[in-house]
Structure 1
Amino acid sequence: MPLPGQISVAINSYVSWERSEDIRKMVSDNVPTSQHHGAPKHGDALLAGLIRCRRCGRKLTVRYTGAKHDIPRYSCWRGLLDNGEPRCIAFGGLRVDDAIERALLQVLEPGAIAASVEAEAQAADRRDQVRDVLMRDLEAARYAADRAFRQYDAADPQNRLVAAELETRWNRALTRAGEVEARIVAHDASTAHPALPSLKDIDGLASDLEAVWNAPQSDARLKKRIVRTLIQEVVADIDHDASEIVLLIHWVGGVHTDLRLPRRRKGQRNSTSADIIAAVRELVLIANDDLIAGILNRNGLVTGHGNRWTRERVTALRSHHRIPVFRTVADGPAPWLNLSQAARHIGVASKTLRIAAEAGEIKGIHPLPEGPWIFCRTELDGSAAHHLAKRARQNPKYPTGSHPDQQTLFSSTT
C-alpha cells in the first residue's frame, strides 16, 4: 500500500503498485551492505553475502584461490581493511558449501515431489496468450460479419444504394474474419507445443534433485537464489581446540541448525588416503606400478580426486612420497616373495601357507583384503616355516603341495 501522502493512481502505470514495491525491494537488497546480501553473482561460493563472523559480527568476504581461481575461501577481512584490526577467521569454502548443499537438499527433498506436481499443473493450465487474443479477434470479426449479414438481409432490395453499401460492409467483415482465421492457422503452425512430462517423469526428477543440483548446466546464480530463499544468514566461527568449523544456519522460518565440520588443512581435501600410501609402500616389495594399480582398483580404491588408479598415477604417488620402485633381483634370491613363491620355497601348498599366515604361525604382510600376501625370505628360512613344512608332510590334513620342479602355467602374485 502507498505511504500517506503518496498518490498511487495519479496516472496509468506500466506495473502495479505491488510489483513496483517488489522491484524496489529487490534493488535495495541487491546493494551489498551489512543489512543486505547483495545480488547473486556468477561465483561458485554459495554463501557469498550470507555468512557472518561470530566474533566481530561483520560479513565474511569471498576470495577465489587455486590454479584456476575456482576454489572459494571465506575470510573476515573487513576489520583489517577498515580499521586495521587483526583478521578474525578464515577457512576454505569447498567443505562448507558441500555441507550447506546437503542441508539444503534435505530440506527441499520432502517438498520436491509436491512442487513438481504443482509445476506440471501450472504448465498444463498455462494458455497461449497470443492465440487467446487472436481467438477474441476472430469472435469479434464473426460477430461483425453476422451483424452485417443481418443488416443486409433486412434492407429493402429496391433501395439499391443502401443494399450495395451493406453488401460491401458484409464482404469486408467476411474478409476480416478470414484473415484472422488465417493468422490463427499460421500461428498454430509456427508455434511448437512440446509435450508436457508425465507425473511419473516429474516424480523421478524430483527424487533425483541432488543430481539436478550438481549438474554442470545448473546456474550458480539460480542456486544462490534458492539458498537465499531458504536461508536468512549463516554465522561462522572456528574451534581451534577441536580443529572444526562451527556453522549456525538461520533458516527463513526461524529454525536454527548447528553444523560442525572438520577444518580442512592445506592439501587435505584431494590428498590420497594414508592407508593407500601405506599399502603401496608394502606392495612395492613384490609388484611393479602397473600391477599395484590393478590391485588398488580390485579393492575399489580411488585417488584423492576420485579417479581410478593407473601406472602413471601410482608412479606419481611413489615419487611424491619417496617410495622406492620395485626392482627384480638380477643375481641372487629375491628378499621378498608372494604367496605362491613362498609356498614353493618351503615346500607346502599355497593354501597351507595362507592358513598358517592368517593364524599368525608365520609372519606375513597382507596390505589389502583383495591383494597378495608378502613374505620375507628370512622368515621363511626360520624354524616356524620348517616346522610348518614338517607338519604338512606328516599330517594328510596339511597338503604339501605340488612337486617343487613342477612349473605353473600362469604366474600368480597371491
Structure 2
Amino acid sequence: MSAQSSNPSAQPEWTLGSKITPRHLERLAMVYVRQSTAQQLVKHQESTRLQYGLVERARGLGWPRERIIVVDDDLGRSGASAEGRPGFQRLVAEVSLDRVGIILGVESSRLARSCRDWYQLLEVCALFGTLIADMDGLYEPSNYNDRLLLGLKGTMSEAELHVLRQRMQQGKVAKARRGELGLLVPIGYMRRPSGEVVKDPDEQVQSVVQLVFAQFEARGTVHGVLRYLVNNGIKMPVRLTAGPAKGELEWRRPNRATLHHMLKNPVYAGAYVYGQRQVDPRRQKPGRPGTGRSVVAPGNWLVALKDRLPAYINWEQYERNLEQLKENSAQGLGAVRNGSALLSGLLRCGRCGCRMMVAYGAGRQRYVCCRNAVHLGEPECQSLVGRTLDECMSELVLKALMPSALEVSLKVAEDLEAEHARLAEHWRQRLERARFEAQRALRQYNAVEPENRLVARGLESQLEEKLAAQKCLEEEHQRWLAKRPSPVGEQERKAIRALASDIPALWKASSTTSAERQTIIRQLVEEVVVTILDGTERVELSIQWAGGHRTQTTVARPVARMEQLSYWPQLAKRMEELRSQGLASRSIAEQLNKEGWRPAKRRSTFNGDMVRTILSRHRRLRSTRHEPRTPAEALRPNEWRLAELAARLSMPSITLYSWMKRGWVKGRQLEGALRLWVVEADSKELARLKALRAAPKHEWRRTRTPRPTHKEL
C-alpha cells in the first residue's frame, strides 16, 4: 500500500473531481467500520484505527463533523452475509430513505463479502445517487464505468473469502490426516505439553471409564448404566479445561448426555477421528457460521485413523455399542421394557409389514398392528392375545438354551465375581483419595506459622472439611459392605449349576424379571412375523433367529366365538351326532375332550354347561331357517328373528337382546309356542346397527333412544 493510501488524512486526487455535488453534501456521510472476528479486534488494532480515521477523510471532502456518522455495530462479525449484521442493515436502510450522500470504507470487503449483498447496496446507491469511497478512489454507482469497477471489486472480495476459507480448511484436513490436529479429548484422557494424547494417569478415572463400558455391555441401555452409577454412588471424573483450576480433576454427578457421548465417541476405541459433525448449508442460519452442523455416518468422516490413541475398548465393541444404541431408539427395536410382553419390538405384521405394538389393559397384554389405524384411519390390521405367543416363544427359546446351560451358569458366576471386584476396587480408590486429601490438608495446616492466623484459619477450616468428608465416606463404605452380597463360594457354584440344569424352572422363577427374559430373547431372535389365518384361531409364526436360521410354526390363539374356529362346522356336526346318540351334556363334553377338540377363548377343555349352551344356540340358529309353525309366529315386513339378526350383525344374541331391553332397537315377542323375539329393522336401521356394532363399547352408551315400556316390547 502506498504512503498516500496509508494516511487517512491525505487528500487523494479524486477529491478534486466533480462527483461530489451540493446535494451530496446536504446529506449524511456514513463511515462503515467492521472487523470479522473478536481476535482481530485484539491483535489487529491498526486496521481498526485506519477505518476510524476515515472520519477525517470525510471532513476533508466537505462534510461537517456533526454530519458524519460512524457505523461500527458489526465489529467482530463476518461479512459473508447481511444476516446478523445490524450495522450493514442500518446502512442500507438509511440509503433507501435518501439520507446518505456518501459511504466510506477502507475497501469493498469491509462492506460485504457476498455479491448478493454487494450488488443490492450498489442498486440502492445508484437509485438514490449515493457515492461510495474507499482507499483507491471515489465511485458513483449510477455511472457505468464506476459500476463495472465496483462490481469487479465485489467479485474479487467474495472470491478472496472463498480462497481463504478453502485454504484454511484444507490445512486443517491435511493436519488431521496426519493425526496432528489438536482436538478436545474426552473423559479419561489427557494431552501432554508435547501434544501427545494419553490415558488419564489417575487409576480411579480409568476404572470409572472402564466400568461405564462394562455396564453398558451387560445392561444394554444408557438408562441402565445411569441407574447403576447412581445406585452405587459413582461419579464421573472431569478435567477442567478453563478457569483458575484448569487441569484439575473434578468429580460430578453422572448424567445421560455424558454417558451417551462416551458410548458414541470413537476415541475410546483408539481411533483419531475428524469430521464427525459437518456443516449442512440447508440448515445453516445466515450470519452464524457455527450453526447447521449435523452428525454424519462413520463412513462419511473426513479422517478416521484407527489404532492411533490408547484405547479402553476395541473397535468391534465400539460398533456393537453403536448398533445397540440404534436398536434402543425409535427406529430400532426399542429398549427393553418392564412390561410383561416378551416380544415387544420383535413382532412384525405378516399382512402389511408394519411393526406390531403392545397394548396393556385389564392386567393382560395384546399385540396389535395399529400403524395404519393411527396414521391412515383404517381398521386395525391384526390383534391377538400376547400370552399365547409369549408361551410359544418361551418354549422355543428354552430349547435353544439347553445345550449351553452349563456354560451360561459358569459365565454368570464369573460375572458376579467380576462385578463385586470392580465395586470393591472403586471403593478402595475413593477411600485412598479421601485419605490423601485429608493428609495433604493436615500437612498444609502444620506447615503454616501458628501466629499467622489469617492463613491458619482458612487451612483449619479446609482440614476439618476434608476430615469430615473422609469420615462420611468411611461410614458409607461400611453400609455398603453390610449390604454387599457375600462372594460366590463353592455352595453357590453348585446351586448355579443345579439351576442351569433346569433352565425352565429358572425361566419361570419369580426372581426372573420380564426385562431379563426380553433381553435373553433378543439375544437369540431377530424378528417374528405374525399372520392370523382367515380370522380363525390359527396363527402362523415365522421366526428369524440370530445367525440366519428361520423357523415356521403355527399356534392357536383364543378367539371370542365358537364360529371363529377353523373346525367349527366339524365340531358342531360331531356334537349333534353325540346328542342324537342320547348322551348327556357332561358325557358329550368328556367325549369331545378325549377326541382332542378344543373350545374358543382361553379354556382348554369342554364342560357340560358349555356343551348345553352351544347346542341350545345352535338349535336356535337352525330354527330361524324354518317356516313359522303357527300364524301367530308370522313376521311383519322388515322384521327379523333375534338370533337371525344377531348372526347378520356378527354379534351374540344376548348382546342384541340387551340392546332391545335398553331401547336401542325396537322388538316384540311372538305369541306362538316358541315365544321368539323379533326385531324391526329396515335397510336404514340395519346400517345404523352395523355402525353401532363397529363402534367402541363406550360409545354405545351415547345412544339416547327412549326406553320402551313393557307393552311396547
Query: The TM-score by the shorter chain falls in which range?
Result: 0.3 to 0.5
TM norm structure 1: 0.47
Higher relative contact order (CA 8 A, sep 6+): 1
Asked which structure has the greater CA Rg, the reply is 2
